[in-house]
Amino acid sequence: MNDGNGGSARAWLIRGAQPLGGPATDLLVRDGIIAETGAGLSAEGAHLLDAAGLIALPGLVDLHTHLREPGREDAETVQTGTAAAALGGYTAVHAMANTDPVADTAGVAEQIWRLGRRAGYCDVRPVGAVTAGLSGERLAELGAMADSAARVRIFSDDGKCVSDAVLMRRALEYVKAFDGVVAQHAQEPRLTSGAQMNEGVVSGRLGLAGWPAVAEEAIIARDCLLAAHVGSALHVCHVSTAGSVEIIRWAKSKGWRVTAEVTPHHLLLTDELAVGYDPVYKVNPPLRTVGDVAALRAGLADGTIDCVATDHAPHPLEDKETEWQVAAFGMTGLETALRVVQEAMVETGQLDWAGVADRMSARPAAIGRLGGVGAPLHGSPLVPGSPANLVLYDPSVRELVDPAQHASRSRNSPFAGRELPGCVQATFLRGLPTVLDGKLAR
């Protein structure tokens, strides 16, 4: 580990890991790739890592991360956000565009990409804004961002919905020229004016303005039809309702190019948590009901929902230590995502570890176009010749979540004080450890 550029660092011999939870094997990592796998490997001079009992997964890929830099460095920076990502087992994250200034030009996208290269904890792929300034009025220079050094392929006004149907149609059409995808934050703005939480039994009781499921579902239905009409690729951000899952299942059955993500928190938490008015549970889209959680899990299990994406949304304490109504929307998630997925999907028997690898690495990498020529490969299977992006995970422990221990600059984890299974022991990015013994390796 004598340089940080993936050069001729010493090799690592990982002993006895279980790729995708299968039989134990050794993995020899050299020159940034997985050089060899098999029992009883030896390599002179290599670092040894005893991985007995640890599951090996391809490095996780997050399609939806708010790194907050530039603009809100009090909440997160590329450095702290990517450190949090590495500790969560991620080797690539997609940085959302709603920074200040907005990532709506090639210049800002490249700035974020460079900050990611410098931080070195994981690859940072900027997401470009769909509309200039996230204003929803005119398209940003999507082509310039696609052609930039950052090679932007995902475009999103996340945090805001591209609600204008014509603008959405044009964006979907335009990105076809460079194999882009439009990632929609599905929220009909008129139906959610002033909305605070899921509209239902709990919102009625608490007197908080309701956020109806239909506000999400109506936009998803419209966008699926638009994507089909113009033959383009739509990605649906943070699906949160049972109805949305149904609509996406239907769109996929037609063969349309629609993909979708779900957040860890929507797989585990419900709107009942709002009863104490603690804004740590305030998030956009809002936490929904037990029925929605069940539908989201089933959708992720059967592949209707392609992947888990964190929507890691750090906020400083003062933006959450307030009345619910004035608090910021959002939750941190990078450092707990894999643990939550184990709790919600693996322990319930709905996904095995191969399924986890698919939903948290291979599929998001494919949606983010991270497999292309010249790009650092993510989401590849753990076989000889693949880039050595991997995570070693201990599924056997259970611990309380303590946000004070997190590398993220913010503490707004909704899992604080909750016991979750699992622990990321090590993360490798192109053959170099970013995390060892559950701690940052540099």
Partner 1 sequence: MIRHLISAADLSRDDALLILDTAGELAQIADRPMRKLPTLRGRTVVNLFYEDSTRTRISFEAAAKRLSADVINFSAKGSSVAKGESLKDTALTLEAMGADAVVIRHGASGAPHRLAGWVRGSVINAGDGAHEHPTQALLDAFTMRSRLGRLEGLRVTIVGDVLHSRVARSNVLLLHTLGAEVTLVAPPTLLPVAVSSWPCEVSYDLDTELPKSDVVMMLRVQAERMNAAYFPTVREYSRRYGLDGDRMATLPEDAIVMHPGPMNRGVEIAAGVADSARSTIVEQVANGVSIRMAVLYLMLGGAEASS
**Residue placing its CB nearer to partner 1 in the complex, 8 or 325:** 325
Q: How far apart are CA 236 and CA 72, in angstroms?
A: 25
CA atoms within 13 A on the CB side of 133: 3
Contact 59, 361 (CB under 8 A): yes
The minimum distance between CB 190 and partner 1, in angstroms, equals: 10
Q: Does 323 bind partner 1 (CB under 8 A)?
A: yes
Q: How far apart are CA 94 and CA 145, in angstroms?
A: 14
Contact 329, 66 (CB under 8 A): no
**In the chain, how long is the greatest CA-to-CA distance?**
67
Q: Residue 355 pairs with which residues in a beta bridge?
A: none
Q: Does 272 bind partner 1 (CB under 8 A)?
A: no
- The one-character DSSP state at 346 is I
- The one-character DSSP state at 238 is S
Q: Is 402 noted as a catalytic residue in this protein?
A: no
Q: Residue 398 pairs with which residues in a beta bridge?
A: 421
Task: Give the tokens for residue 220.
Answer: 């998803």
The single residue among 23, 40, 45, 207 that binds partner 1, judged by CB under 8 A, is 207
Q: Does 321 bind partner 1 (CB under 8 A)?
A: yes
Helix (H) or strand (E) holding 225: helix 213-230
Q: Does 210 bind partner 1 (CB under 8 A)?
A: yes
The single residue among 38, 276, 291, 385 that binds partner 1, judged by CB under 8 A, is 276
> Please, what is the end-to-end C-alpha distance for the chain in angstroms?
10
Task: Give the tokens for residue 367.
Answer: 């949606």
Q: Does 203 bind partner 1 (CB under 8 A)?
A: yes
The minimum distance between CB 278 and partner 1, in angstroms, equals: 8
Q: Does 205 bind partner 1 (CB under 8 A)?
A: yes
Q: Does 201 bind partner 1 (CB under 8 A)?
A: yes
Q: Does 405 bind partner 1 (CB under 8 A)?
A: no
Q: In terms of DSSP bridges, do strands 307-308 and 258-262 run parallel, antiparallel, or are they unpaired? A: parallel
The minimum distance between CB 92 and partner 1, in angstroms, equals: 37
Point out the catalytic residue in the list 26, 62, 292, 311.
311
**Residue placing its CB nearer to partner 1 in the complex, 150 or 327:** 327
Task: Give the tokens for residue 95.
Answer: 């940085």
Question: Buried (b) or exposed (e) across 254-287, using 16+ Cβ within 10 A?
Answer: eebbbbbbbbbbbbbbbbebbeeeebbbbbbbbb
Amino acid at 213: A
Task: Give the tokens for residue 65.
Answer: 């991360």
Residue window 229-268: x/- pattern of binding to partner 1, with contact defined by CB under 8 A: ----------------------------------------
* Interacting span for partner 1 (CB under 8 A) from 97-105, 196-204, 362-370, 422-430: 196-204
Q: Does 326 bind partner 1 (CB under 8 A)?
A: yes
**Residue placing its CB nearer to partner 1 in the complex, 62 or 319:** 319
The minimum distance between CB 275 and partner 1, in angstroms, equals: 9
* Interacting span for partner 1 (CB under 8 A) from 41-49, 261-269, 315-323, 390-398: 315-323
* Interacting span for partner 1 (CB under 8 A) from 139-147, 207-215, 328-336, 407-415: 207-215
Those residues whose C-beta lies under 8 Å from the C-beta of residue 280, and which sit 6 or more positions away, are 320, 331, 412, 413, 414, 416
The minimum distance between CB 322 and partner 1, in angstroms, equals: 6
Q: Residue 259 pairs with which residues in a beta bridge?
A: 235
The minimum distance between CB 214 and partner 1, in angstroms, equals: 10
The minimum distance between CB 207 and partner 1, in angstroms, equals: 3
Q: How far apart are CA 438 and CA 442, in angstroms?
A: 12
Q: How far apart are CA 322 and CA 386, in angstroms?
A: 48
Q: Does 318 bind partner 1 (CB under 8 A)?
A: yes
Q: Nearest CA to 212 among 237, 187, 239?
A: 187
- The residues in 1-60 that bind partner 1, with binding defined as CB under 8 A, are none
* Interacting span for partner 1 (CB under 8 A) from 31-39, 76-84, 317-325, 407-415: 317-325
**Residue placing its CB nearer to partner 1 in the complex, 120 or 279:** 279
For partner 1 (CB under 8 A), the number of binding residues is: 22
The minimum distance between CB 402 and partner 1, in angstroms, equals: 19
Q: What is the set of active-site residues?
A: 311
Q: Which residues bind partner 1 (CB under 8 A)?
A: 196, 199-201, 203-210, 212, 276-277, 318, 321-326
